[in-house]
Structure 1
Amino acid sequence: MTRTVTGDERGRTTARVGTAETRQGDAGRPDPASGTRRAGIRRALRIASRPEHWRRGPVLASSALLLGLIMLLHAEIPNRIGNVGSLVETLLPWFGLFIPVLLAASLRRRSASAVAALLLPLTVWLNLFGGLLGDKSQPGGDLTLVSHNVGADNPDPVGTARALAASGAQVLALEELTEQARGTYEKELAKAYPHHTVQGTVGLWSKLPLSDTRPVDIAQDVGPLADSKPVDVKLAYNRALRTTVATDQGPLAVYVAHLGSVRLNPRAGFWTESRDRNAQALGEAVAAERNERVVLLGDLNGTMDDRAFDAITSQLRSAQTAAGDGFGFSWPARFPVARIDQILVRGVQPRSSWVLPATGSDHLPVAARIS
């Protein structure tokens, strides 16, 4: 028996066949993005296979190797002239910006040797700072700490105090307190923090009881004359304190410090003499601390890559490095380029570390949660 095919059925069959052919055609058509990648790889292989491309760009290749060696051997750069070594270590993370610049120049010059040389600085930079690119924070923790250089020229100490109180920190360290602003901070923080101490230009506010509070002399000379300075001279301008915070898990020794400033000028270079003496004295004070659990909060006027802090970093570790998200730059507040405000710990576990929003200060507050 013969079946007559209607026009509608014939149209549907034709449509199905057309659709199948279209799909087959799409499947056979190359993906533009994939083709671009393959073309780029073939071009790179062609460049690498030509001897003249390896001879191009000797200056670029030398620059890439020099960049890698500076980062790799930064600890060997001497400080004898203008503290160049410390300056390089302070700016060390930013050396990574030269890598894409040199890469773009190398590709434009079609220099295979320069591209290959860039593997050295790239590997070194990732080894030094690659661990800071991800978020290492973890949930939980027993105590939230905040440290902030409130700024002697802060035009809004009331707003700064209220913002810090709203952070929810149990322990709050302030640096660069002036006599004029001290009363403002004491008044605004009194309700949230029933316990506090101010020693010179640094202070600590706490929701938990404090005990064994004393100033720490970090302005002392380091060397044979250290013991010859009168006590009243040593403590005339105090920039550090030590206290014990009574937590539910036991006593916690807390240090608050504001180390000396640094200067960069054509004559003296990177001037750090005062800060370096302070760092050495503070390291000695921490070394003498008997409590196993220690926290150091403060404006240290330097990054922890700087060799000047070896006496401190050999005993304490950075909460930002251990449990932060990114580099955590804190200064200057408008465009942070360095992490000079620190939360360093020993005998406790950092769970998270972050930077708080800007206040009226030229520094950003830094925070950490520990267990």
Structure 2
Amino acid sequence: MDEQGAGRGPGLGLGLGRRPGRGRRPGPWSWRGRGRVLAGAAVLVACLLVFHGAVPDALPGRPGSLLETFLPWLGLAVPVLATLALLRRSAVAALAALLPAAWLALFGGHLLPGDARTPDLLAVQHNVSDENPDPAGTARALAAAGADLLALEELTPAAEPAYAAVLAPQYPYHAVAGTVGLWSKHPLADVRPVDIRPAGLGEDWNRGLRATARTPRGEVAVYVAHLPSVRLSPTHGFGSVRRDESAALLGAAIAAEPAEPLILLGDLNSTVDDRGLDPVTSRMDPPSRDFAFSWPASLPLARIDQVMTRSATVTRIRSLSATGSDHLPVAAHITWRAPGRGR
């Protein structure tokens, strides 16, 4: 070979002198070099979904609780990543985009139809808002749900008579403590306030109530609670210190409650995935996993209005139509557990 032909390997059909990686056109789906950022993003989303408990909450802004409050919405990343992988024609990114399918394992059951059987007891939970312009209209809407129990929060002294007057024909029994109330079709007994007041708040801060409802199926302990609000800001992040302290007090009260079964209704300013609610959820049976987003009413993003049970089962939770509040009411279908059946 002369010097001019030394670098022309293709002329011999042997590829002599060809630089590595040159001369071969990538296929329509490349395994090399493409989509690494997309693949990394997909793996990150999958890890946040599956290992959200590993995100620290001790850092300023409580990033762990913030993530868990809106955890289901990470699912929006799945179709976005899959579409970008298709456009990028990257096999690596396409496979990695399947990782967030872990969302289906965590939340796919929420998309299935709820239990349509007639419940043993129907309970409705609603933060009626202390700025509600139409308390009587809200009361009429709640009464139309036909629940056995109605738990209301943010009751004001000015609005309470309107609720009492409208609800009285269907709910002859009711109790109020501070700004929370319980209306019942069944007799109430052993009514008392529950102290869930965090440090630093005044003596007039009362947002906890406990009562015994005497239903045709037996007595049930009913708790109504309104935990402190959280604050989300660019400078302080997820401000949940008082809520978490109040949740610990509520959890201690439930742990000390001897009665079974037990129903907890309230605006807990927490989703069931938020670790800030662990002192409560750890004392209760596994909560219903229905979405039933309740806040804010104009564009519901999370369910912070909860109905939980002990020695009973919430078979379904659903959101009801909007009222004059910034929350949506939620209705919970509850069935009693067979005697002798454990958690």
TM-score, length-normalised on structure 1? 0.80
Contact 1:319 1:352 survives alignment (8 Å)? no
Equivalent residue runs for 1:153-232 within 5 Å = 153-221=131-199
Give the C-alpha shift of residue 156 in structure 1. Answer: 0.8
1:248 and 2:216 are equivalent in the alignment: yes
Distance in 2, Cα, partners of 1:138 & 1:202:
30
Distance in 1, Cα, partners of 2:299 & 2:288:
19
AA aligned to 2:188 is L
Distance in 2, Cα, partners of 1:67 & 1:172:
39
Distance in 1, Cα, partners of 2:120 & 2:245:
34
1:89 and 2:68 are equivalent in the alignment: yes
Contact 1:82 1:269 survives alignment (8 Å)? yes
Distance in 1, Cα, partners of 2:320 & 2:44:
37
Higher-Rg structure is 1
Contact 1:218 1:278 survives alignment (8 Å)? yes
2:324 corresponding residue in structure 1: 360
1:105 and 2:84 are equivalent in the alignment: yes
Distance in 2, Cα, partners of 1:190 & 1:202:
17
Shift of the 178–346 alpha-carbon distance from structure 1 to 2, 3 Å rule, reads same
1:314 and 2:282 are equivalent in the alignment: yes
1:271 corresponding residue in structure 2: 239
Distance in 1, Cα, partners of 2:202 & 2:257:
20
Contact 1:297 1:343 survives alignment (8 Å)? yes
Distance in 2, Cα, partners of 1:272 & 1:309:
11
Give the C-alpha shift of residue 349 in structure 1. Answer: 2.6
Shift of the 260–179 alpha-carbon distance from structure 1 to 2, 3 Å rule, reads same
Contact 2:174 2:183 survives alignment (8 Å)? yes
* Secondary structure in structure 2 of the residue aligned to 1:369: strand
Residue by residue over 1:104-149, the C-alpha shift from the partner in whole angstroms, topping out at 9 and shown as x without a partner, is 1111010110111122221x21121111110131312221111100
Shift of the 284–193 alpha-carbon distance from structure 1 to 2, 3 Å rule, reads same
* Greater share of helix: 1
AA aligned to 2:52 is H
Q: Pick from 70, 75, 92 the counterpart of residue 53 of structure 2.
A: 75
Residue by residue over 1:80-112, the C-alpha shift from the partner in whole angstroms, topping out at 9 and shown as x without a partner, is 221001000111100010111111111101011
Q: Pick from 105, 108, 117 the counterpart of residue 127 of structure 1.
A: 105
Give the C-alpha shift of residue 319 in structure 1. Answer: 5.3
1:115 corresponding residue in structure 2: 94
Q: Pick from 299, 312, 321 the counterpart of residue 348 of structure 1.
A: 312
Distance in 2, Cα, partners of 1:212 & 1:220:
24
Contact 2:180 2:224 survives alignment (8 Å)? yes
1:59 corresponding residue in structure 2: 37
Residue by residue over 1:194-226, the C-alpha shift from the partner in whole angstroms, topping out at 9 and shown as x without a partner, is 1100000000011100001100001144xxxxx
TM-score, length-normalised on structure 2? 0.86
1:284 and 2:263 are equivalent in the alignment: no
AA aligned to 2:275 is R
Contact 2:123 2:149 survives alignment (8 Å)? yes
* Secondary structure in structure 1 of the residue aligned to 2:174: strand
Distance in 1, Cα, partners of 2:263 & 2:203:
22
Shift of the 265–351 alpha-carbon distance from structure 1 to 2, 3 Å rule, reads closer
AA aligned to 1:290 is P
Number of residues of Structure 1 aligned to a counterpart in Structure 2:
308
Computed over aligned residues only, the root mean square deviation of the Cα atoms, in angstroms, reads 1.6
* Secondary structure in structure 1 of the residue aligned to 2:312: coil
Distance in 2, Cα, partners of 1:193 & 1:241:
17
AA aligned to 1:301 is N
Contact 2:285 2:311 survives alignment (8 Å)? no
1:260 corresponding residue in structure 2: 228
Distance in 2, Cα, partners of 1:111 & 1:206:
60
2:271 corresponding residue in structure 1: 303
1:141 corresponding residue in structure 2: 119
1:42 corresponding residue in structure 2: none
Distance in 2, Cα, partners of 1:350 & 1:77:
29
Q: Where does structure 1 differ by over 4 angstroms across 4 or more consecutive aligned residues?
A: none
Distance in 2, Cα, partners of 1:97 & 1:306:
19
- Percent identical pairs in the alignment equals 52
Contact 2:308 2:314 survives alignment (8 Å)? no
